[in-house]
């Protein structure tokens, strides 16, 4: 895949909000709203639509923005690009690393600094999301850390549950790079320094959404963000630790994950729609909060489209790279909305001769091998619009013969949160909804002549036959 760039595109958080506003993708909510259930409820009601800016949050000075990346339209407007180019841009995070550039002047992220008397419950308009949640959670923070052995910068998303004053719980899933870095520090008896960036450069936001299978532990994700931008990410040192943070970040929580202190964490409404269980989690101790003079606080619903949209393009770029390298007939891919942009994939192929028959099944296996969480892969011909669910279902209805075209791979590894599975083990399903090359002409759909209809508005004026007909019908 050729690598496109974002030359000349300002990827700062505020520039992205400005593009959303000008593109009519930012809806302002002027009425007073509450952080307890109401904001999250409104975000869920308008999930998949425009971003929402809550200008008046009861009890807090800072406005809240939600659903920022909750739809393909929002993502593409934020980056001023289309889906094809955006996936190529994201591929730059893997294939082209551009190290960050440290600035030595005062930066917006540190216009205001609080190093004492920090009380996150009073300062942050953090939300109580679903009725099942254990409390208030910070959900949109990009968490920066440095591996204590390799020195590699890591960026990732992890939820923080407010505990009071300057402490939060931090959910560290097994298999994640941040947990590995924490365990290395813990083994030495050290806390792990981290910085939580709220409202940060959107190139870093998407670099942080890459998972381990797409972004190796040795990859520096500050440099990966530069790869997306194709220019250095401008950073500044934290005020209380040695980490670097994007200079234009809205709010930064500086601190450390305690190597000894744990607490109860959860439940919380996860992206699958189910509340997570309650369990023990490490404690994040906040040593300082820095922010712009007039910061905007971002929020992400755990059970919302934004959670899964952040990874849609990243995962598509990864699997499309793998497929086009291995299978010459692959044209395009789509992680479907109904499959939470993670579990169901549609692959579009173009057969050029009979020698290409069967490659569609190879594509199924390559895709499943590339993305562990995939549970279903449907392969269709090039005349099927893979972003139209009706078209894909049409292909299955008219081109798939169940006794011949269904492939089942039992006992494969998937996502551990899928409750129908057994600790992440379940069968994978492949559906070959393509036509053999020799039969393509027999399956060609009927075409119609291109036409255009000019509407004569005068036809609806009083006295026309249209009105008389409608009147007679009444």
3-class SS letters over 97-166: CCCCEECCCCCHHHCEEECCCCCHHHHCCCEECCCCCCCCEECCCEEEEECCCCCCEEEEECCEEEEECC
Write out the two tokens for 418: 């899928």
Cα 202 from Cα 154, distance rounded (Å): 16
- Whether 384 has a pLDDT exceeding 60, the answer reads yes
Query: Token pair for residue 408?
Result: 């089942």
Pair 11, 205: CB distance under 8 Å: no
- pLDDT of 129 over the 80 cut: yes
Q: Closest Cα partner for 383 from 445, 430, 336?
A: 445
Which pLDDT score, from 0 to 100, does residue 455 have? 67
29, 122, 460 from 294: Cα distances, Å: 18, 16, 53
Residues 275, 279, 282, 285, Cα dihedral to 10°: 60
Cis peptide before 267 (omega within 30 of 0): yes
Digit-coded pLDDT (tens) for 274-326? 888 889 999 999 999 999 999 999 999 988 889 888 889 888 988 998 999 99
Phi-psi sector, 250: left (phi>0), alpha (psi -120 to 50), beta:
alpha
470 pLDDT more than 60? no
- Report CA torsion sign: 131, 133, 134, 138: negative
173-209 pLDDT per residue, tens: 888 899 999 999 999 999 999 999 999 999 999 999 8
Choosing among 1.10.10.10, 3.40.50.2300, 3.40.1670.10, 3.40.50.720, the CATH entry for 327-437 is: 3.40.1670.10
Q: Which residue has the higher pLDDT, 364 or 309?
A: 364
CA 72 to chain centre: 10
C-alpha angle with apex 300: 298 to 305, nearest 5 degrees?
A: 135
Q: What's the CATH class of domain 13-306?
A: mainly beta
Q: Cα separation of 119 and 352, whole Å? A: 64
Confidence of residue 1 (pLDDT cuts 50, 70, 90): very low
pLDDT band at 120; cut points 50, 70, 90: very high
Tell me 87's DSSP state.
H
Token pair, residue 200, equals: 């940060």
Which pLDDT tens digit goes with each residue over 76-85? 999 999 888 8
Torsion, CA 371, CA 377, CA 367, CA 360, rounded to 10: 180
Residue 214: its pLDDT value, please? 67
Domain ranges in the chain are 13-306, 327-437
How far is the first Cα of the chain from the last one, in angstroms, to the nearest whole number? 60
Q: What percent of the chain has pLDDT over 90?
A: 77
329: left (phi over 0), alpha (psi -120 to 50) or beta: alpha
- pLDDT grade, residue 130 (50/70/90)? very high
CA dist 288 and 239 (Å) reads: 8
């Amino acid at each position: 895949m050729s690598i496109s760039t974002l030359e000349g595109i300002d990827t700062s958080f505020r520039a992205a909000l400005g593009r959303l506003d000008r593109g009519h993708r930012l809806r302002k909510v002027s009425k007073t709203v509450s952080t307890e259930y109401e904001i999250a409820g409104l975000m869920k009601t308008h999930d998949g639509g425009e971003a929402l800016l809550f200008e008046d949050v009861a009890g807090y000075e800072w406005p809240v923005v939600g659903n920022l990346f909750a739809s393909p339209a929002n993502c593409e407007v934020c980056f001023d690009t289309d889906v094809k180019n955006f996936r190529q841009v994201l591929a730059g995070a893997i294939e082209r690393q551009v190290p960050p550039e440290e600035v030595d002047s005062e930066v917006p992220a540190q216009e205001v600094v609080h190093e004492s008397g920090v009380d996150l419950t009073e300062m942050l308009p953090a939300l109580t999301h679903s009725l099942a949640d254990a409390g208030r959670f910070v959900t949109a923070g990009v968490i920066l850390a440095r591996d204590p052995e390799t020195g590699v910068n890591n960026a990732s998303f992890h939820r923080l549950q407010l505990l009071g004053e300057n402490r939060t719980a931090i959910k560290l899933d097994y298999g994640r790079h941040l947990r590995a870095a924490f365990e290395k520090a813990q083994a030495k008896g050290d806390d792990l320094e981290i910085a939580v960036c709220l409202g940060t450069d959107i190139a870093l936001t998407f670099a942080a959404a890459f998972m381990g299978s797409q972004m190796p532990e040795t990859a520096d994700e500050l440099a990966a963000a530069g790869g997306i931008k194709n220019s250095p990410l401008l950073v500044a040192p934290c005020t209380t630790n040695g980490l670097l943070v994007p200079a234009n970040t809205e709010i930064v929580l500086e601190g450390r994950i305690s190597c000894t202190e744990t607490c109860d964490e959860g439940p919380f409404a996860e992206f699958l729609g189910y509340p997570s269980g309650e369990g023990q989690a490490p404690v994040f101790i906040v040593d300082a909060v820095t922010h712009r003079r007039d910061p905007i606080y971002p929020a992400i619903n755990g059970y919302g489209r934004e959670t899964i949209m952040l990874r849609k393009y990243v995962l598509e770029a990864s699997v499309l790279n793998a497929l086009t390298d291995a299978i010459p007939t692959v044209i395009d891919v789509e992680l479907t909305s109904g499959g939470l942009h993670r579990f169901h994939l549609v692959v579009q192929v173009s057969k050029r001769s009979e020698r290409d028959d069967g490659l569609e099944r190879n594509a199924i296996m390559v895709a499943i091998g590339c993305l562990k969480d995939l549970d279903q892969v449907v392969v269709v011909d090039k005349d099927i619009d893979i972003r139209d669910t009706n078209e894909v279902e049409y292909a299955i209805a008219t081109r798939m013969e169940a006794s011949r075209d269904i492939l089942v791979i039992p006992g494969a590894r998937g996502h551990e949160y899928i409750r129908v599975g057994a600790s992440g083990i379940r069968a994978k399903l492949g559906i070959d909804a393509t036509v053999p090359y020799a039969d393509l002409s027999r399956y060609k759909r009927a075409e119609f002549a291109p036409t255009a209809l000019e509407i004569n508005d005068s036809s609806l004026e009083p006295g026309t036959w249209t009105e008389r007909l409608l009147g007679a019908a009444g």
